[in-house]
């Protein structure tokens, strides 16, 4: 296994495929680097070097109690880019991974960054507050925490339905995709499964978005049931200077899988 050890002793697993300009992928909760396998295989086959880590607590990485917050996730990403000495990198983040990319740029700048892509991403803030009335009420995130604690395995199986829009009328359901989602989710440790909910829902990334000074593409489905577009892409695309927003009509949160051909083509065009 390809791993590195962070400054606090956490072992992080990562995939590193191909050669060429580096594209670094940051996955969502509660998945792993495998969530981006369609994009990585497509882009590696076209002459790029594709790298994706399993976030601490997720996938094949170790499962520490500490560090399940966006500051630490971003610092782990910075350690990976420094270890591999990545320059002129394109950072692609989905969901929580989009928050990780935002906090990485906010904390570490864009010296190693060429471009950024946020897909179904959490910035600027998911939680409903007086200053963010379009956000999601805290009770919804409390229900997620309760589901993780009550029966994690059943909870992941149920979550796969809205994640991929499989609960919509006429949806073509892939049981294979649902099983892959469940498998990746069950590989996440209990601490990350639980604590990451607070990280992705309550972290305000508004100031981080102001530090973006590289070309940025924002992709989001307007039927995203996990990260609703009104409190995310519609706001983040305005906060990031010069960002390009592309809305996928009727697309779910897991569109990197359900609409992989379209997403792959979009990424390649933007990277080129």
DSSP string covering 39-105: HHHHHHTTT-EEEEEPPTTSTTS---SS--SHHHHHHHHHHHHHHTT--SEEEEEETHHHHHHHHHH
224 counts as catalytic = yes
Of the chain, the percentage scoring pLDDT greater than 70 comes to 100
Catalytic residue among 27, 58, 91, 253: 253
Catalytic residue among 32, 61, 95, 201: 95
DSSP string covering 113-142: EEEEEEES---S--B--SS-TTSB-HHHHH
Q: Is the pLDDT confidence value at 260 over 80? A: yes
Catalytic residue among 224, 232, 236, 237: 224
Alpha carbon 215 to its chain centroid, in Å, reads 18
Span 115-157, pLDDT tens digits: 999 999 999 999 999 999 999 999 999 999 999 999 999 999 9
Q: Is the pLDDT confidence value at 1 over 90? A: no
Q: Give the pLDDT of residue 244.
A: 98
Q: Which residue bears the tokens 């590989």?
A: 187
**CA–CA distance, 152 with 81 (Å, rounded to integer):** 32
pLDDT band at 21 (very low <50, low <70, confident <90, very high): very high
Q: Give the pLDDT of residue 224.
A: 98
95 counts as catalytic = yes
27 counts as catalytic = no
Mean of per-residue pLDDT scores for the chain: 98
Span 150-181, pLDDT tens digits: 999 999 999 999 999 999 999 999 999 999 99
Cβ–Cβ under 8 Å, residues 120 and 95: yes
């Amino acid at each position: 296994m390809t791993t590195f050890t962070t400054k606090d002793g956490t072992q992080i697993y990562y995939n590193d495929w191909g050669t060429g300009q580096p594209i670094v992928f940051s996955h969502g909760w509660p998945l792993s680097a495998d969530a981006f396998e369609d994009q990585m295989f497509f882009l590696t086959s076209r002459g790029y070097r594709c790298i994706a880590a399993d976030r601490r607590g997720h996938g094949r990485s170790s499962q520490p109690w500490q560090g399940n917050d966006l500051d630490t996730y971003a610092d782990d990403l910075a350690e990976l880019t420094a270890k591999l000495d990545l320059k002129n990198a394109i950072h692609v983040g989905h969901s929580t991974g989009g928050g990780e990319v935002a906090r990485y740029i906010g904390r570490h700048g864009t010296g190693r960054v060429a471009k950024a892509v946020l897909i179904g991403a959490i910035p600027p803030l998911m939680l409903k507050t007086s200053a963010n009335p379009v956000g999601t009420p805290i009770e919804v995130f409390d229900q997620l925490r309760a589901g993780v604690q009550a029966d994690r395995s059943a909870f992941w199986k149920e979550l796969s339905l809205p994640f991929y829009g499989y609960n919509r009328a006429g949806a073509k359901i892939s049981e294979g995709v649902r099983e892959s989602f469940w498998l990746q989710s069950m590989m996440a440790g209990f601490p990350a499964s639980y604590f990451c909910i607070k990280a992705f829902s309550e972290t305000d990334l508004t100031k981080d978005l102001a530090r973006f000074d590289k070309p940025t593409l924002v992709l989001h489905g307007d039927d995203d049931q996990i990260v609703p577009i009104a409190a995310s892409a519609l706001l983040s695309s305005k906060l990031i200077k010069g960002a390009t927003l592309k809305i996928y009509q009727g697309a779910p949160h897991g569109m990197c899988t359900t609409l992989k051909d379209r997403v792959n083509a979009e990424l390649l065009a933007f990277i080129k």
